[in-house]
Amino acid sequence: MSKVTLDPKAPEGAARGSTAPKRRPAYAHLCASSEPEPRVVLHIPEVPVAKARPRMSRYRGPQRVYTPLPTARAEQRIREHARAQLGEGWVPLSGPLSISVTVLRPLPKEMPKRLWATAVPACRPDLTNYLKLIEDALTLGPDGWGVVRDDAQFVAIINAKKLYALGCEPGWEVVIEPFTLEVPT
């Protein structure tokens, strides 16, 4: 049996006299990064479109699955805006990421002005379908360009809002930044 000496300067409740090295938590690799990745802020001035379900067709042969045309066009326009803002030489982000999306929808024409200040779009389409579209549009595509390498693997935190565009044009506000876990020491 080894002899353990008590350290009078050790804080209350601490392991006194322990010679074992401190164990790092399993998520410590998320906290220590040699070089922080950049924060991406995108403003996409397109009327938001929700991701539609895939469609199936049996026209002249076997069944095939395809993305509806409005969804495919919206993804392409979002990619073009992001590419114009970030440039061709952009290196896709990887590692744990935090994404914040604000969907700014146009005001309905039938809404009275007295309700504009307190109006919240509690209607279809669902906010998750907007998120799916923006994540798929910003993921690394077949052309080799994207803001994020793989949204399914790397997005750790999602913050999303669906609001009416009051005093501004409809569109998307997207902020993507590296996620760092604050570990108490």
Structural domain includes residue 19: no
pTM of the model: 0.70
Q: How far is CA 106 from CA 119, 120, 170, 171, in A?
A: 12, 11, 5, 9
Domain of 46: which CATH number?
3.30.1330.70
Name which of 89, 92, 184, 85 is nearest 140 in CA terms.
Answer: 92
Q: How far apart are CA 102 and CA 182, in angstroms?
A: 25
The pLDDT tens digits for 43-98 are 999 888 888 888 888 777 788 887 888 989 999 999 999 999 988 888 888 888 88
Residue 183: pLDDT band (50, 70, 90) is: low
Question: What mean pLDDT, rounded, does the chain reach?
Answer: 77
Domain containing 165 equals: 37-51+63-87+99-178
Q: What are phi and psi of 86, to 5 degrees?
A: -100, -25
Structural domain includes residue 116: yes
Residue 24: pLDDT band (50, 70, 90) is: very low
Q: Given strand 171-178, what is the order of strands in its sheet?
A: 40-44, 171-178, 97-105, 155-164
Q: How many domains does the chain have?
A: 1
